[in-house]
């Protein structure tokens, strides 16, 4: 098949890693693959060079940006339409909020035969002002009318989208976001060396967070919880893996609470280095305010590190209470601190939860299984709809979709 993926930007992030693995995997299976993205980068790091080194075709649309910019957005839609009409893919597969809207509109305008969209996290969510939330909800409902299949990375995303009236349940399929599970094996890394580089002694318990240093990643809740846990458990140390625009502000908060000396910030690390960072930790904590399915929870469990997470979105599908970790009510800082202290004091429990987590995640989150599932979706849609004939008459294609 001739397949074209569209995503807003290639920063270091879960949706982007998912998309690159899907593109590479489909190409390895013999499909012709094109990836279209915007130029935006940021302090999170960029995967653009990695994509340029891939075996698939990469195209950058300069007008495709994450922020809402009506003039640029209008131009991006037309540029995407022209590009898709040139490529003539059998399947157009969009990702992320902005590219999900503009890419699907462009695919319809160009007369694409099959349109698929992956919901990595809801484009309208609890962190947004209500006017923006309502706008995205209406746009998602509209675009779903001419989308052949909606892929979600967690059952929670399907439930939320159906409840919001985006589309009926039969239009969705859940495919867990895959990763290179062979990277995540604690026996491949020197745990002691990693901890020594952080200045951690053998007896201290390290609680780690892997997330961009931005609002909505939960640092506003995590910092006071860390301070309370540190007051109660002197053996605790903390490590943050990531970078972002709020770093200086968060460091000031740590100083004000008197725990800055107990927190090591690694800054930005390459995705390939994340398993090594996890190898030095004892517990992974994830306090994000909004997720699809928290990728770092899967990564931590693959490294046999139990996870503490707020009970939101797809987190309960991987953080299973008393099996792989601890779930805490959203924004309950006291319970978050309790969980950190309790788990830090029970090494046997940590080991048991970590082993069960690795076993669960090896089965669910291998990237090869993800690519195979995505390929099956394409094949089913091609068998049902056909593809190439739709390009001969875009107008009739649109009428067929609305019917």
Range of the domain at 283: 181-364
Residues 27 and 115 in one domain: yes
SS3 of residue 119 by DSSP = strand
Residues 159 and 192 in one domain: no
Residues 349 and 370 in one domain: no
Q: pLDDT, tens digit, for every residue of 325-376? A: 999 999 999 999 999 999 999 999 999 999 999 999 998 999 999 999 999 9
* Mean of per-residue pLDDT scores for the chain: 92
Instruction: Assess whether pLDDT exceeds 60 at residue 400.
Output: no
What are the phi and psi torsion angles at 285 (to 5°)? -115, 140
Residues 126 and 216 in one domain: no
Secondary structure tally for the chain: helices H, strands E: 15, 13
If we measure between CA atoms, which residue out of 284, 250, 253 comes closest to residue 267?
A: 250
Spatial separation of the C-alpha atoms in residues 107 and 84, rounded to whole Å = 7
CB 320 within 8 A of CB 360: yes
Average pLDDT over residues 378-403: 61
Residues 63 and 154 in one domain: yes
Which tokens belong to 315? 């987190």
Q: What DSSP string runs through 236-273?
A: EEEEEEB--TTHHHHHHHHHHTT-GGGEEE-B---GGG
Predicted confidence at residue 397, as pLDDT, reads: 45
Residues 121 and 132 in one domain: yes
Average pLDDT over residues 94-113: 94
Instruction: Assess whether pLDDT exceeds 50 at residue 402.
Output: no
Spatial separation of the C-alpha atoms in residues 68 and 402, rounded to whole Å = 27
If we measure between CA atoms, which residue out of 88, 144, 81 comes closest to residue 118?
A: 144
Residues 270 and 297 in one domain: yes
Spatial separation of the C-alpha atoms in residues 360 and 357, rounded to whole Å = 5
State the alpha helices, DSSP H only, in 145-232: 155-163, 191-198, 219-232
Predicted confidence at residue 26, as pLDDT, reads: 97
Bigger pLDDT: 191 vs 203: 191
* Buried/exposed 158-184: b ≥16 CB within 10 Å, e otherwise: bebbbeeebbeeebbbbbbbbbbbebb
Residues 284 and 383 in one domain: no
Q: pLDDT, tens digit, for every residue of 212-236? A: 898 889 999 999 999 999 999 989 9
Instruction: Assess whether pLDDT exceeds 90 at residue 5.
Output: yes
Looking at the 3D structure of the chain, how many domains does it have? 2
Predicted confidence at residue 386, as pLDDT, reads: 67
Residues 127 and 172 in one domain: yes
What are the phi and psi torsion angles at 323 (to 5°)? -120, -45
If we measure between CA atoms, which residue out of 287, 317, 290, 284 comes closest to residue 302?
A: 284
Question: Which residue in this structure is represented by tokens 């195979």?
Answer: 372
Domain with residue 377: its CATH number is 3.40.50.2000
Residues 306 and 393 in one domain: no
Residues 87 and 170 in one domain: yes
Residues 346 and 372 in one domain: no
Q: pLDDT, tens digit, for every residue of 39-84? A: 987 777 788 888 998 889 999 999 999 888 899 999 999 999 999 9
CB 366 within 8 A of CB 183: no
Spatial separation of the C-alpha atoms in residues 325 and 323, rounded to whole Å = 6
Q: pLDDT, tens digit, for every residue of 224-283? A: 999 999 999 989 999 999 998 899 999 999 999 999 999 999 999 988 999 999 999 999
% of the chain with per-residue pLDDT over 70: 95
């Amino acid at each position: 098949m001739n397949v074209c993926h569209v995503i807003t930007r290639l920063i270091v992030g879960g949706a982007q890693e998912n998309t690159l693995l899907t593109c590479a995997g489909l190409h390895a299976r013999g499909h012709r693959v094109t990836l279209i993205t915007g130029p935006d980068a940021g302090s999170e790091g960029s995967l653009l060079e990695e994509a340029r080194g891939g075996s698939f075709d990469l195209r950058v649309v300069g007008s495709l940006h994450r922020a809402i910019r009506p003039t640029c957005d209008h131009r991006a839609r037309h540029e995407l339409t022209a590009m898709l009409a040139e490529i003539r893919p059998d399947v157009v597969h969009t990702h992320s909020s902005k590219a999900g809207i503009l890419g699907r509109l462009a695919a319809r305008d160009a007369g694409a035969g099959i349109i698929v969209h992956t919901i990595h996290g809801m484009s309208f969510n609890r962190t947004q002002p209500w006017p923006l939330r309502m706008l995205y909800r209406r746009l998602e409902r509209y675009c779903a009318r001419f989308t052949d299949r909606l892929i979600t990375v967690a059952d929670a995303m399907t439930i939320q989208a159906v409840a919001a009236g985006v589309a009926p349940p039969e239009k969705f399929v859940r495919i867990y976001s895959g990763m290179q599970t062979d990277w995540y094996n604690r026996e491949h890394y020197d745990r002691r060396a990693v901890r020594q580089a952080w200045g951690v002694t053998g007896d201290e318990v390290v609680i780690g967070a892997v997330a961009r240093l931005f609002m909505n990643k939960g640092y506003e809740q995590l910092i006071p919880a860390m301070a309370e846990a540190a007051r109660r458990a002197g053996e605790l140390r903390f490590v943050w893996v990531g970078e972002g625009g709020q770093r200086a502000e968060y460091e000031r908060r740590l100083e004000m609470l008197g725990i800055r000396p107990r927190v090591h910030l690694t800054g930005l690390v390459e995705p390939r280095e994340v398993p090594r960072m996890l190898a030095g930790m004892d517990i992974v904590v994830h306090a994000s305010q909004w997720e699809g399915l928290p990728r770092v929870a899967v990564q931590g469990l693959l490294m046999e590190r139990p996870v503490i997470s707020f009970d939101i979105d797809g987190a309960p599908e991987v953080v299973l209470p008393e099996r792989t970790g601890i779930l805490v009510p959203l924004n309950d800082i006291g319970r978050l601190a309790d969980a950190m202290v309790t788990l830090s004091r029970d090494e046997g429990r940590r080991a048991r939860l970590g082993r069960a987590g690795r076993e669960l995640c090896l089965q669910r989150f291998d990237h090869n299984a993800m690519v195979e599932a995505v390929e099956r979706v394409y094949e089913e849609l091609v068998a049902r709809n056909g593809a190439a004939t739709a390009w001969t008459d875009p107008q009739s294609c649109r009428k067929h979709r609305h019917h």
